Chains A and B, each alone.
Chain A
């Protein structure tokens, strides 16, 4: 189950970060922060290759004993990081991909809102609802 979902801006500051078990939130923040290194590494490894959707999804960034961290980067270098509990029967890759796709769609919906300035923290209720559903559903 997705225990933590984060949206990181291009400049590597969080636009949105939310985790389910409200205790130990700091731990997830830290995890997401460290995963940014791995994301950057993967991005640079791709080089100037054509960016198609396959490469937007970065896959498993790194596993720990408790959970796994998946990453996804958009064309504008906005990163989505998802922390998933390992105890859950291993989520299939496709499911993770679909979750990221939903995240991306919601993110673009937010972008379409003229009252949203890119770079602001995300306060959209629709986005919150979507993330909640994702966290619950995967539970």
Chain B
């Protein structure tokens, strides 16, 4: 490819000050290869006039991992700056200088006169040597480069097992249009990451057909290390993508950096799963924030990425939104400028359509409809300050209606009906500009439709009106009959323990002394029931043997039975919300009976209270006595116990 490099160097050495570089054979071979790589294809025929493409040279120099100052120095020393381009001589000198610098020698012309090891350039993961191998192996490099290490793991979680997966996905954005060389400035990225990029550089170097555009560059040195213009690399990348097409899956057509490949998608889905096991559910904002912060992108950029990817602006990411956001992060890391609007291929509906089945499950609908109203609820209700659970179905219905209206307005033919989220996405897709308005519409409904929601809420109230106050008892002002009726009604309904019955039977499990008192109580208990109907006394005796609580209730029940029947009708009237006119008269008659019954009940209760109080005091005294005995016995025991061994 190159004529005797030594000769070439010698010949053009005049340009650099009559420098005769002794080059070993290996050096010659390497340098010629490198030069050829950097050379534009058309000029390969005339080596002395050839000039290595500035950008590729710059890339190569960067691959040497020397600090930029050193590289600047090298370019100055080798004469490229003076000459304005990297001729073969300059190139070889530069390479020598790089080797010198890497060996620790100062960047001087003198240093390269020595025997130096070959300059080391940043290598691919395992195949560092292949880069310098014969062109045949370069193809192998090309094939491996797409799977080269992009150490996203360095800032994301480190799944060593998934390393292979991780490498492949992020590659596609690199191989596509703008500004990828600007990524070369990102020295902050990990070593491995840098490695892969330089692997790409080699690939760039290997694609000979695209060098002419690089001539647009300024002086090879200064322009290289700065930002490179996007256009210069577009042709470069086009060739790259052309190369990659046979390698990639068919999904990667066109030079779309915003298209997610299958490997990328798989990777994203795995990451999603690690954050949120349910693929159909959302990742909350805070979780996503922590995750993406790990990418070490500046917060404003992350904020912008979020804005782009969260299309429904609900503060949470679905799987599709997450993939879009992740993809944007990856692209940004690789140097692409973030777009102003979300590219079409990253729209959630597009991604959902691409990712097929699981998202189209109808079972999804349930989770979506649950989470959607949930999200909508948190979003809307926070604003409207409503938290009643009743409104969840209302709101989801409202929002679905809103979406349906939007759909009609837009006259879009949306096939997929059940999922409300898809409504939104599809409408966003079809009318991008009106997306805000669309989103605004359901939201504005929540704003201005507070009255609607109010109405809906109130509309639900009529079925269960609050129980009407019993007008019939307005006369009985001394007795709060309402309260008592309510109590009784409640007792009926809920089976609560009614107000303490006349005589609470003592617990059968207590000591004998209490059993004695139990017997005493029997006559007491028998007394109050005697005032009521006959049945009640019989029932009580039967019931006394049973555990205390039951007889309490049962005892009272016969008493209330008298009250129950008259009570039933008014309470039923109340709950059925019939007009009070008809039951009014019978209620009045019954109320007098009830009044009497209640009064007797009150007397009974008072007596029972007295009895219980006496019982209580007696038991307390007994308790005290028993305590004293116990203490006495314990002291005796201690005295009697043999003295413990010392």
Closest to A116 in B: B303
Q: Contacting chain B: which of A1-9, A11-19, A102-110?
A: A102-110
B244 at the A interface (CB under 8 A)? no
Could you tell me the distance between the alpha carbons of A124 and B436 in the complex, rounded to whole angstroms?
A: 15
* Interface SS majority for chain A: helix
**A108 near B307: Cβ-Cβ < 8 Å:** no
Contacts of A113 in B (CB 8 A): 285, 303, 306-307, 310, 315
* Interface SS majority for chain B: helix
Within 8 A of A (CB), among B400-456: 436, 439-440, 443-444, 447-448, 450-451
**B450 near A114: Cβ-Cβ < 8 Å:** no
Q: Take A52-B450, A114-B315, A125-B340 as given contacts and tell me if A108 and B383 are in contact as well, using a CB distance cutoff of 8 Å.
A: yes
Contacting residue for A112 out of B299, B304, B315, B440, CB 8 A: B315
B385 at the A interface (CB under 8 A)? yes
Could you tell me the distance between the alpha carbons of A112 and B378 in the complex, rounded to whole angstroms?
A: 11
**A114 near B307: Cβ-Cβ < 8 Å:** no
Size class of A's contact patch?
20 to 34
Within 8 A of B (CB), among A37-78: 52-53, 75
Contacts of B288 in A (CB 8 A): 114
Could you tell me the distance between the alpha carbons of A113 and B286 in the complex, rounded to whole angstroms?
A: 9
A101 at the B interface (CB under 8 A)? yes
Q: Take A101-B440, A108-B443, A115-B299 as given contacts and tell me if A125 and B307 are in contact as well, using a CB distance cutoff of 8 Å.
A: yes
Within 8 A of B (CB), among A71-111: 75, 101-102, 104-106, 108-109
**B450 near A53: Cβ-Cβ < 8 Å:** yes
Closest to A97 in B: B448
**A115 near B447: Cβ-Cβ < 8 Å:** no
**A53 near B436: Cβ-Cβ < 8 Å:** no
Within 8 A of A (CB), among B281-336: 285-286, 288-289, 299-300, 302-304, 306-307, 310, 313-315
Closest to B380 in A: A108
Size class of B's contact patch?
20 to 34
CB proximity of A111 to chain B, nearest CB, Å = 8
Contacts of A53 in B (CB 8 A): 447-448, 450
**A106 near B436: Cβ-Cβ < 8 Å:** yes
CB proximity of A1 to chain B, nearest CB, Å = 20
Contacting residue for B440 out of A102, A115, A116, A123, CB 8 A: A102
**A123 near B383: Cβ-Cβ < 8 Å:** no
CB proximity of A13 to chain B, nearest CB, Å = 20
Contacts of B310 in A (CB 8 A): 112-113
CB proximity of B346 to chain A, nearest CB, Å = 15
**A124 near B443: Cβ-Cβ < 8 Å:** no
Q: Take A53-B448, A105-B436 as given contacts and tell me if A114 and B443 are in contact as well, using a CB distance cutoff of 8 Å.
A: no
A136 at the B interface (CB under 8 A)? no
B584 at the A interface (CB under 8 A)? no
Could you tell me the distance between the alpha carbons of A123 and B307 in the complex, rounded to whole angstroms?
A: 11
Closest to B307 in A: A126
**A112 near B300: Cβ-Cβ < 8 Å:** no
B30 at the A interface (CB under 8 A)? no
Within 8 A of A (CB), among B113-165: none
**B444 near A124: Cβ-Cβ < 8 Å:** no
A residues at B contact (CB < 8 Å): 52-53, 75, 101-102, 104-106, 108-109, 112-116, 123-126, 129-130
Top 3 A-B pairs ranked by shortest CB distance?
Answer: A114-B285, A112-B315, A115-B303
